[in-house]
Amino acid sequence: MALNFRDDSRPLCILCNTCDGYPCRIEAKNDLTATVLRQAQTQGLEIRAGVIAKRLVSDGARVRELECVDGETGEDYVFTGSRYIVAGGALQTPALLLRSGLGATPGGRWVGRRLMRHCNAVVTGVFRKRTNPEGTFHKQLCFTDFYDDMRDRFGTATGTIQDIYTPARQVIEHHAPPGLRWAAGWLTAFMQNLLCIAEDDPRVDNRVTLGEPDRFGVAAPRVDHEYCAADYERRDYLVARARRVLQVAGAWTTRVYEIDSFSHGVGSVGMASTPEQGALDAQCKVWGMDNLWVPDGSAFSTSSGVNPSLTIAANALRVTPAMIATNA
């Protein structure tokens, strides 16, 4: 969960119940802001917020500069360096590469292809007693029991089920139908939720292309994505088991909420053993480019069936020595 329980040189987690829905007020999460970026700033890292990366300018097999624009002032910038690392996520990373003409690299036909975002749902159980009257830390359970149940059939993982917080009463009331808002808000104290994270297939037609330009003339990413029947089947399999878990635990009734967001967006610039199979090599370097790497979630070749954050971090740490060793 990337929480700080041991390093007493900085705030320790106090096990509150806001972990899912809010930034950590005391910075007890081991996220980039509190750890890596803060340390890197002591070594000369400069962070510029609100700057839009327009395009990478390359000369043959090398990127020479990055053209940017300040999102507030409209001022243009040019950055130069020996190594370039793109980490804009599964939507913005392929958009930047496409704006930079890097769809013409040896593996460039895969840039923007095979976008994945998991096929998720939340199963809510309503109980006859309050589910967390003390307001204690809620993120305690993850079931991997069903992870491989459908691998023989589909060749993929099925996914995981994990505890997830109940949104605040005000949030529930805001989104509930008129006439039911007070009742829905009152019921939040009796709810327990399980998040089903199902692996989805890396389909070629699920892709990121370039859409309309913004006010600075920078083409925004356009997303085309549809789940396949196997994605839904894996999700529904997990939903049925999550519902059964809640029922055995004493839920009076259950309800399913399908999730249609890109909170787990991965793929779209995937790694592969050859440029005929993917846009990046095994060290996340763009095929055909000597000094350009993509170590973010877009490098994934599959989505697995878990929250990808820690795998993104682990993969970035894995490939960093190769970046440093490269004679750039």
pLDDT in tens, 73-101: 999 999 999 999 999 999 999 999 999 99
Q: For position 269, what pLDDT does the model report? A: 97
The C-alpha atoms of residue 44 and residue 221 are separated, in whole angstroms, by 31
- Choose the weakest-confidence range: 17-26, 61-70, 101-110: 17-26
Q: For position 199, what pLDDT does the model report? A: 96
Q: On the CB side of 259, how many CA atoms lie within 13 Å of its CA?
A: 22
Q: Is the pLDDT confidence value at 327 over 80?
A: no
Q: For position 169, what pLDDT does the model report? A: 87
- With CA atoms as reference, report the closest residue to 194 among 118, 122, 136, 131: 122
- With CA atoms as reference, report the closest residue to 297 among 282, 286, 310, 285: 310
The C-alpha atoms of residue 53 and residue 65 are separated, in whole angstroms, by 11
Domain locations along the chain: 1-47, 83-328
Which pLDDT band holds residue 32 (cuts at 50, 70, 90)? confident
The C-alpha atoms of residue 246 and residue 225 are separated, in whole angstroms, by 31
Which pLDDT band holds residue 124 (cuts at 50, 70, 90)? very high
**What sign does the CA torsion over 301, 305, 307, 310 have?**
negative
Inter-CA distances, 58 with 81, 89, 315, Å: 12, 21, 26
Mean pLDDT, residues 189-208 taken together: 96
pLDDT in tens, 131-190: 989 888 888 889 999 999 999 999 999 999 999 988 888 988 998 888 889 998 999 999
Q: Is the pLDDT confidence value at 328 over 80?
A: no
Q: Is the pLDDT confidence value at 21 over 80?
A: no
Q: What is the mean pLDDT of the chain?
A: 93
Q: For position 320, what pLDDT does the model report? A: 95
DSSP code for 230: H
The C-alpha atoms of residue 95 and residue 105 are separated, in whole angstroms, by 15
Percent of the chain with pLDDT over 90: 77
Percent of the chain with pLDDT over 70: 100
The C-alpha atoms of residue 196 and residue 245 are separated, in whole angstroms, by 12
Q: For position 172, what pLDDT does the model report? A: 87
